[in-house]
Structure 1
Amino acid sequence: MTQSPASSTLIRGGTVVDAEHSYRADVLIVGNTIAAIGTDLDVPAGTRIVDAGDRLVMPGGIDPHTHMQLPFMGTVASDDFYTGTAAGLAGGTTSIIDFVIPNPQQPLMEAWRDWRGWAEKAASDYAFHVAVTWWDESVHRDMGVLANEHGVQSFKHFMAYKNAIMCDDEVLVNSFTRCIELGAIPTVHAENGELVYRLQKALLARGMTGPDAHPLSRPPAVEGEAANRAIRIAEVLGTPLYIVHNSARQSLEAIARARGEGQRVFGEVLAGHLLIDDSVYRNPDFAFAAGHVMSPPFRPKEHQDALWHGLQAGHLHTTATDHCAFCAPQKAAGKDDFTKIPNGTAGVEDRMSALWHYGVGSGKLTPSEFVRITSTNAAQIFNLYPKKAAVRVGADADLVVWDPNGSRTISAKTHHQNVDFNIFEGRSVTGIATHTFTRGHLAWVDGDLRAERGRGRYLPRPTHGAYVDANLRRAGAGSG
């Protein structure tokens, strides 16, 4: 059957790189999916040709931790679901997993409807973790509706942010138990909120009001304690566990210890925590220091070395951004009180290039390991695989043509993220996306962003069964 040029594309001459191997092959896209892989392919008349040449053809990135349009700390994140996903496409990220975060006492289904409405403008595909921020019988019921009727396979728990969205141990035990019943995977933000609250008050009482107090209020030990507590609760109850944005050696050690004991625990690390240290908070320019305020905070350099080693050893499985962008006027709300600085930084556009440059470029990662940590492991853990994160016939045509020798300088002046600050400002990176396909649509071509508002679709994710368990085993074994 003859196809129109818009409905079929041949990526010709590149080297396919997936999580297992690399090989020379052409890739034919017809409609939304990969139709054929090989050489001397029979292609429809009018097929668009993309000459990959000496470049790589890889699965598009999956960022498993973003916060687009998040209402938080008295303001709303500056990137909405269109601008944020469009920026991701410019950097080679073709899917995100965002978070529905109900206010305390807000029905989960009410918050779900809010986020689904906001996300209708997305330019790339998206899924949702849903946060459990309080507990009663309605939360128990709504978790079932979300898992069974809406394809929510993961539920988030904040162990920080006291007097707001923090879960105490009773909520954790109730929600983890419900996750087991539903076949869902619980995830946690691991920081001891009681300790953070006490330290914040003590620092303010001493007159420490600036951003330099932020990391002092959230030392590595509060992360390590919370990670270990969540792991041991999961151990007693018998559930797998996913710990988001590990920033400290202490939480990594808790994960490695649990995995060594045979526990199914998965760890995530942010590109920023791998590359940026806590000296940023001591910069005398408030806007610069506040621009780096996020939780957990950036750590002393020795923690970066530990995180890289954890990634290489397979104790950390995914890389994310925790993309939650706030502009300088929003950050200024905490000018006289660091606890009022909106927590969050951007990065969805830069994660892939930063990790290629500092990971593959330095010899810490192979190209296939890069694909695992930026795409495949997340797809397997959160049950998007093999429809996503695979270069195989029948998979969604979420692909990136990657130039390992191309370079760019990261800057807020040129990025597509809707924020006036970039934590990677001025870094020159080698390794860039030249073409990004989202379900067959060519959304990024050599600097030309062609993202389409509303083209993204919601991705339901089945809960646990033999299929999901197999994916979890792959993710656990595939990284080390």
Structure 2
Amino acid sequence: VGDDVIVLDASGKFVMPGGIDPHTHLAMDCMDFMSTQTVDDFFSGQAATLAGGTSMHVDFVTPVNGNLMAAFQAYQNKAKVSCMDYGFHMVITKLDDVVSRDMEIMVKEHCINSFKFFMAYKGALMASDDLLLEGLKRCKSLGALAMVHAENGDVVVEGQKKMIELGITGPEGHALSRPPVLEGEATARAIRLASFVNTPLYVVHVMSIDALEEVTKARKSGFIEMFNISQFCLLSINDTIVVLIYYLRILVIVGWVGLGYTSKDSAPKSPTPSPKSVMETDNVGIEERMHLVWDTMVESGQISATDYVRLTGTEWIFNIYPRKGAILAGSDADIIILNPNSSFEISSSSHHSRIDTNIYEGWRGKGKVEVTIAGGRVVWENDELKVVPGSGKYIEMPPFSYLFNGIEKADARHLSSLRALVKRSNS
């Protein structure tokens, strides 16, 4: 170690790898299906992320008209202002020979190892069952992780019509239009299709007990899939804070390994919003998630600090360990210092997102990230950001993570059993 070093006092504090948020939407144009666009770009959103102790995120590339190549380049251009490391998932809205070829290019040339399918947003992003099935098969052949937004999109449309008829057009209408049974049904359907194909599945933002029960049942049966639960589960529709400690603990017991949070900051393009039938999903999350999980889970005694590190990082799932998620020689030096005795209060007046509201307004808790180091640079200290546009790097995520271990052997056993069955029936 040379003389040109920075000494940080971590006495009585936890030194741990920075978090990895696998589910963000920055600089996303949602005009095609929500009449909105996200207010945070890759610089402002990432600055907020670093202030919260997350040192890498994986954003969703959403193609227009299914053009994967153009979408990837467009998002790379958006990310030129990045101040932290990032990766990409790719959304699939149609699947033909061109898209299938481009999926292979994304995996082999750009190291994108995950593709997302929406089972909601009918008429815009929604994938039919046959598209989802073909997509699962294609993901398996490429060693890429299939991801699903699991809601019954057809029935959600009916729920939305009902809310409009009843005059329920506030934020509560969003939840009431899609009761838990619709998420549970779609989750079960996605799991069964993935099981039929025998490929890993990642169910994004699990929001209900119905969906959680389906995931838990699948995991107990030995079918491997990942899922993440949104911290919005910590809030109820009537603004009363409901800390779902019991249900979160269930996730830990069944082997909760994919903890990620949606951070979709939406705002109208025009200063004067036009009337709309579907409420926009304005919210925050990327800055708050590390503090909320510590406060609700570690501070309450439900999980250990070691569990916290495991749950707030997804490096194994996306095949980037030990570059990320580790404090080792040769790793990227993404490190945080968390003071378990320091208090925090969430407020729109002090958060670092451009959005002017915060659904966690007034939340007070313990366990504060006091220092964030990204790539060996101190970027958050003394409640001050020290970020530089363009300093973030695109992180390649190779295919065939550990989730694919044993799949070929399982397929071979299944094929052998089918042949044996045919042989017996013909004899």
What is the TM-score when the length of structure 2 is the normalising length?
0.90
Per the alignment, in what secondary structure is the counterpart of residue 278 of structure 1?
A: coil
Deviations 1:219-272 (A, max 9, x none): 000000000000000000010000010010111111111111110111101122
CA change 1:333–1:368 in 2 (3 A) is same
Corresponding residue for residue 167 of structure 1: 127
| 1:362 equivalenced with 2:300 (yes/no) | yes
Distance (whole Å) between structure 1 residues aligned to residue 280 and residue 98 of structure 2: 30
> Which residue identity lines up with residue 16 of structure 2 in the other structure?
M
Corresponding residue for residue 41 of structure 2: 80
> Which residue identity lines up with residue 397 of structure 1 in the other structure?
A
Deviations 1:85-111 (A, max 9, x none): 1111111100000000113x3311111
Corresponding residue for residue 317 of structure 1: 257
Corresponding residue for residue 318 of structure 2: 382
| 1:447 equivalenced with 2:387 (yes/no) | no
Corresponding residue for residue 85 of structure 2: 125
Corresponding residue for residue 368 of structure 2: 432
Distance (whole Å) between structure 1 residues aligned to residue 52 and residue 263 of structure 2: 13
Out of 397, 401, 417, the position equivalent to 2:333 is: 397
> Which residue identity lines up with residue 56 of structure 1 in the other structure?
F
Distance (whole Å) between structure 2 residues aligned to residue 143 and residue 326 of structure 1: 28
Deviations 1:114-140 (A, max 9, x none): 111101111110001100011211110
CA change 1:146–1:329 in 2 (3 A) is closer
Corresponding residue for residue 418 of structure 2: none
> Which residue identity lines up with residue 262 of structure 1 in the other structure?
G
Per the alignment, in what secondary structure is the counterpart of residue 206 of structure 2?
A: coil
| 1:345 equivalenced with 2:345 (yes/no) | no
Corresponding residue for residue 373 of structure 1: 311
Distance (whole Å) between structure 1 residues aligned to residue 302 and residue 119 of structure 2: 32
| 1:462 equivalenced with 2:420 (yes/no) | no
Corresponding residue for residue 416 of structure 1: 352
Per the alignment, in what secondary structure is the counterpart of residue 285 of structure 2?
A: coil
Contact preservation (8 Å) 2:200, 2:403: no
**1:395 Cα deviation after fit:** 1.1
Contact preservation (8 Å) 1:252, 1:315: no
Deviations 1:58-109 (A, max 9, x none): 0001111000011112221001000011111111100000000113x33111
Superposed, which structure 2 residues align to 1:45-444 within 5 Å? 45-72=3-30, 73-103=34-64, 105-273=65-233, 275-280=234-239, 304-305=244-245, 307-327=247-267, 333=273, 337-339=276-278, 341-375=279-313, 378-444=314-380
Corresponding residue for residue 19 of structure 1: none
Which region of structure 1 is more displaced relative to structure 2, 213-222 or 228-237? Answer: 213-222
**1:198 Cα deviation after fit:** 1.3
**1:337 Cα deviation after fit:** 4.4
**1:332 Cα deviation after fit:** 7.4
Per the alignment, in what secondary structure is the counterpart of residue 222 of structure 2?
A: coil
Corresponding residue for residue 419 of structure 2: none
Per the alignment, in what secondary structure is the counterpart of residue 99 of structure 2?
A: helix
CA change 1:405–1:434 in 2 (3 A) is same
Per the alignment, in what secondary structure is the counterpart of residue 464 of structure 1?
A: coil
CA change 1:161–1:328 in 2 (3 A) is closer
Distance (whole Å) between structure 2 residues aligned to residue 183 and residue 327 of structure 1: 36
**1:57 Cα deviation after fit:** 0.6
Q: State the percentage of identical aligned residues.
A: 37
**1:333 Cα deviation after fit:** 3.7
- Unaligned 5+ residue runs, structure 2? 408-427
Distance (whole Å) between structure 2 residues aligned to residue 106 and residue 96 of structure 1: 23
Distance (whole Å) between structure 2 residues aligned to residue 351 and residue 331 of structure 1: 29
Per the alignment, in what secondary structure is the counterpart of residue 365 of structure 2?
A: strand
Corresponding residue for residue 15 of structure 1: none
Distance (whole Å) between structure 1 residues aligned to residue 328 and residue 48 of structure 2: 26
Contact preservation (8 Å) 2:50, 2:379: yes
Contact preservation (8 Å) 1:323, 1:344: no
**1:203 Cα deviation after fit:** 2.6
Contact preservation (8 Å) 1:255, 1:315: no
**1:331 Cα deviation after fit:** 10
Corresponding residue for residue 425 of structure 2: none
> Which residue identity lines up with residue 235 of structure 2 in the other structure?
I
Contact preservation (8 Å) 1:271, 1:319: no
CA change 1:471–1:369 in 2 (3 A) is farther
**1:468 Cα deviation after fit:** 6.3
> Which residue identity lines up with residue 238 of structure 2 in the other structure?
S
Distance (whole Å) between structure 2 residues aligned to residue 177 and residue 469 of structure 1: 13
CA change 1:428–1:345 in 2 (3 A) is same
In the comparison of the two structures, how many residue pairs are matched? 404
Contact preservation (8 Å) 1:322, 1:344: no
Structure 1 stretches of 4+ moved >6 Å: 328-332
Distance (whole Å) between structure 2 residues aligned to residue 436 and residue 210 of structure 1: 37
- Two-structure CA RMSD over aligned residues (Å): 2.1
Contact preservation (8 Å) 2:228, 2:261: no
What is the TM-score when the length of structure 1 is the normalising length?
0.80
**1:328 Cα deviation after fit:** 7.9
